[in-house]
Amino acid sequence: MEKESGKVLMIDDDEDVLLAAKLLLKKNGHHVIIEKNPKKIPFLLNNDTYDVILLDMNFSKDITSGKEGFYWLSQIKEKDPNAVVILITAFGDVEMAVRALKEGATDFVLKPWQNEKLLATISTAIKLKNTYKEVDKLKKAKKQLEEDINQPFKDIIGKSASIKKVFDLIDKVAKTDANVLILGENGTGKELIARAIHQRSLRHDSSFVGVDMGAITETLFESELFGHKKGSFTDAKEDRAGRFELANSGTLFLDEIGNLSLPLQSKLLTAIQNREVTRIGSNKSVPVDIRLVSATNMHVHEMVNEGSFRQDLLYRINTVEINLPPLRERLEDIPLLATHFLDKYSKKYRKEIHGLSEEAIMTLRKYPWPGNIRELQHAIERAIIMSDNPKLEPDDFFFLSQSKSVSSAENYSDNLNLDEVEKSLIQKAINIHDGNISKAANELGLTRASLYRRLEKHGL
């Protein structure tokens, strides 16, 4: 039998017994701690952990009754219910040893012991301890998994009012089967929202299947979404289920749905209306039961007015509409997001970077983030790779200033109404400085009184 080695604590008032056991166990690969005084057991347990504890039943003050042994066994088990305790007892104490097994001891050895018997007993006990450790590890992993599952919107980071509105909408719509349309700029996290809806829905045990509609060519559209039969076209070497079938009883996420041409919109609408698909090369329709979640960064309502998006398809996909705010409208979430990405990438690149300075946070909050959360994520990753600082500083984000003026100009190029631009700039300054009027006024080059007048004027 393969012998296990481990850390063994032995308590016995006979010094010769202790030394003999230590010599034997060390020779066989165990790390051994010996102690004559049982009163030191609490100290030893508080300062270290042991795979096996060898405990004498009788000490000098209580030579034959075993009372001290029972007392210290109870103390050890109270401190660590998974402690593996082997009792050391004389031949005449076997009845006491059996009683001790009922009270939590793992095994017992008789004095004088046979070396091979002692080593085998300890090896078996160490295996049992390793099993306890594994069970404990699995319990902790299960608990963590349950906490992660029960933690609402674990992957969606933010506490701003605008993102809380999104959370409220998800809560209201998730348990229904209503079709959802998620609108938002690139990089705002539309797929995360779609996954959150699925995870909190009644379909969470079934598949979440995503499709990037912008990446599907006209010729592959039907094959990708509806499937095909073997031989139905040149590269159709086997039967293949489409995304609708794969998502059956689950959620189908159609990302960038605004990129579809009108003919493809028509085919998609037919499948959604009939709740069935027909594979290319087959005459047999397949019923599908899906929950549809769609997303786009395009202005689909304007596209309907322009005739580039079907109104009847829009009605089908947006029973409930969720508008994701751009990052520039949730500046108070930037520190949370930045810290999240810093933790992620400092571990990935094994960099000892602990946090961002206040100045660095201010730099991030002043930047308009045209690429939203995705751009922030890449910025933090790049800064961590290049930085030699213990904390990220403004200089670590020098590359943002190179595009800031262009981004800022783009922000307001489509709105030339001076009042609206002024209102937007004031709101941004207030957000950057967490409502501090003095700092916001200084940022805008105004006096506090002037800023108050403008706040009143714009109803802010």
Domain annotation covers residue 337: yes
Tell me, yes or no, whether 178 and 304 share the same domain.
Answer: yes
Same domain? 227 vs 317: yes
Q: What is the pLDDT of residue 165?
A: 93
Q: Which of 187, 191, 288 is nearest to 247 (CA)?
A: 288
- Main-chain phi, psi angles of 241, to 5 degrees: -80, 145
Position 242 in a domain: yes
Q: 81: buried, middle or exposed (CB in 10 Å: 19+, 13-18, 0-12)?
A: exposed
Quick check: 317 and 272 in contact, CB under 8 A?
yes
Residues sharing a CB contact under 8 Å with residue 165, sequence separation 6 or more, in sequence order: none
What CATH number is given to the structural domain containing 444?
A: 1.10.10.60
Nearest to 325 by CA among 426, 431, 436: 431
- 443 and 379, same structural domain? no
Are residues 69 and 116 located together in one domain of the fold?
yes
Element (H, E) at 147: helix 115-150
DSSP 373-384: HHHHHHHHHHHH
- At residue 367's C-alpha, the angle toward residues 361 and 371, to 5°, is 115
Are 420 and 406 members of one domain? no
155 lies in a domain?
no
In this structure, the answer to whether residues 121 and 21 fall within a common structural domain is yes
Residues 93, 196 share a domain: no
Residue type, 446: L
Q: How many domains is the chain built from? A: 4
User: What is the CATH classification number for the domain harbouring 284?
Assistant: 3.40.50.300
- Evaluate whether residue 250 is within a structural domain: yes
In-domain check, residue 152: no
Q: Residues 118, 235: one domain?
A: no
Q: Are residues 336 and 426 in the same domain?
A: no
pLDDT of residue 93: 67
| Domain interval for residue 269 | 161-325
User: pLDDT value at position 413?
Assistant: 44
Angle between the N-to-C axes of helices 437-444 and 448-458, in degrees from 0 to 180, rounded to the nearest 10:
100
pLDDT at 416: 54
Q: Does some domain include residue 362?
A: yes
> Same domain, yes or no, for 239 and 372?
no
Q: Tell me whether strands 276-278 and 285-287 are parallel, antiparallel or unpaired.
A: antiparallel
Is residue 237 one of the residues assigned to a domain? Answer: yes
Give the 3-state secondary structure of residue 275. Answer: coil
Domain stops at, among 325, 343, 362? 325
Which of 278, 297, 325 is a domain's end point?
A: 325
Q: Indicate the burial class of 423 (C-beta count within 10 angstroms; 0-12, 13-18, 19 or more).
A: middle
Q: How far apart are CA 339 and CA 25, in angstroms?
A: 49
Percent helix, percent strand, percent coil in the chain, to nearest 5: 55, 15, 30
- Low-confidence spans in the chain with pLDDT less than 50: 1, 150-152, 405-413
Q: Are residues 321 and 336 in the same domain?
A: no
Same structural domain for residues 69 and 134? yes
